[in-house]
Structure 1
Amino acid sequence: MTAQDELVQLEAGASLESALEFFDSLPPARVAELTGTWRGNGIDTGNPFDGLLERFGWYGKRFDGPDDAHPLLFTGSGGRVVSVNPAFVPMGLVLNIADKLNNPVVGKLFTRLVPLLTTREPRARLRMVEYRGVSSAAMIYDSLPIYDPFRKVDENTLLGAMDLRGLRAPFMFVLRRDSAAG
């Protein structure tokens, strides 16, 4: 079975243990390999963040260089992709009420607020970080206690593990290079 085949199975829903086992089996990513725009989706492992970003219109991430990362791209009005400033995301509150955010009304409200939350400035950096015993590329948020270590599924697919202070287990997600974004 190829890494892509295993990933497809995980994306249907998986235990955290099997997602991390797969993550650990993958080769490290290098910062220089990440330049570009990436489409994202979560992997359902029982994490409070499962499905949350998608309900709010999460598009993915953009890496313009080691010091120029845009950690939260969302689909805004008219389908335009915009960068949201993570400093405006109250992570403590989100964690406390994550189960109540599974409501289409909340998602629509967030979509209306997106124009107030956007930024053109990068809000994260890429660095090599050791995570689970392997040094690999990771995105480090400027304003939140979060970093996202990545492993390479292939040249155009990454598996990420969002590590947030206060969250017992990582939120697992996939990034696929968006060739249409140029």
Structure 2
Amino acid sequence: MNAVEAGKVETLTALEAGTTAEAAMAFFDSLQPVALGTMIGSWRGSGLPTGHPLDGLLERANWHGKRFDSPEDVHPLVFSGGGTQLYSVNPARVPMGLIASHPGLFNSRLAACLFPTLRSFLRTRKPAARLRMTEYRGVTSATMLYDALPINDIFRKIDDDTLLCLMDMRGAQAPFFFVLRRETGVDQAARD
């Protein structure tokens, strides 16, 4: 890691303690684009707390991250089923409109307890998104396009193994920020 990347990691670490959407966007805008090939693999995800209504929701549901098998085969929502077991969720079965309009209802202990009981309904082995290069705020970078939802996740590079990401959802007042960190040695048996 060079000095520039080390500075970006230091900034990210400070932002992960809690920040504003404006500060997160300023940092996002300062970062380099990501090539499609960089995305291939498994990534561990975590939210970047900015005061967004969705902050903490994914973590309470045991969100693990994302898996990019190829530009055409993306698993956008990978969750932990306990231990090393990971499974993909079909985003088309997640009531995103309801979640966006009533985040408090879903951002609770009760919702986190109910989520595992819905696993068999939500689970899928099929990819549910694709990767494309798109322009966002004047920069062309790798973007994950959900197949069934009006959501794009735009990726910017902190270093080769760390990305700052922005979820742009139609109708949302503000973007949702999250971080992806590349996983190495992910066991295929732990998937699905």
**TM range, normalised to the smaller chain?**
over 0.9
TM-superposed deviation, 1:115: 2.4
After superposition, the Cα gap between the structure-2 partners of 1:77 and 1:115, relative to the gap in structure 1 and judged at 3 Å, is farther
The 1-side partners of 2:126 and 2:106 are apart by 28
Aligned twin of 1:65: 70
The 1-side partners of 2:54 and 2:32 are apart by 25
Aligned twin of 1:45: 50
Paired positions, count = 182
AA matched with 1:69:
V
The 1-side partners of 2:64 and 2:92 are apart by 18
1:138 alignment partner, SS class? strand
AA matched with 2:114:
L
1:118 maps onto 2:123 in alignment: yes
Matches within 5 A, 1:30-41: 30-41=35-46
The 2-side partners of 1:115 and 1:80 are apart by 14
- Tell whether the 8 Å contact from 1:57 to 1:111 is kept in structure 2 after alignment: no
| Equivalent position to 1:22, from 17, 20, 27 | 27
Superposed CA offset, 1:32-68 (max 9, x none): 1110000000111111111111111110000011101
The 1-side partners of 2:149 and 2:70 are apart by 20
| Equivalent position to 2:106, from 67, 87, 101 | 101
1:179 alignment partner, SS class? coil
AA matched with 2:112:
G
TM-superposed deviation, 1:105: 2.0
AA matched with 1:109:
L
1:14 alignment partner, SS class? coil
The 2-side partners of 1:117 and 1:78 are apart by 19
TM-superposed deviation, 1:78: 4.6
2:33 alignment partner, SS class? coil
The 2-side partners of 1:76 and 1:131 are apart by 34
- Tell whether the 8 Å contact from 1:162 to 1:172 is kept in structure 2 after alignment: yes
TM-superposed deviation, 1:77: 4.4
Uncovered stretches (5+) of structure 1, i.e. residues with no partner:
none
- Tell whether the 8 Å contact from 1:31 to 1:137 is kept in structure 2 after alignment: yes
* % same residue: 53
- Tell whether the 8 Å contact from 2:54 to 2:107 is kept in structure 1 after alignment: no
TM-score by length of 1: 0.96
The 2-side partners of 1:69 and 1:38 are apart by 11
The 1-side partners of 2:114 and 2:105 are apart by 14
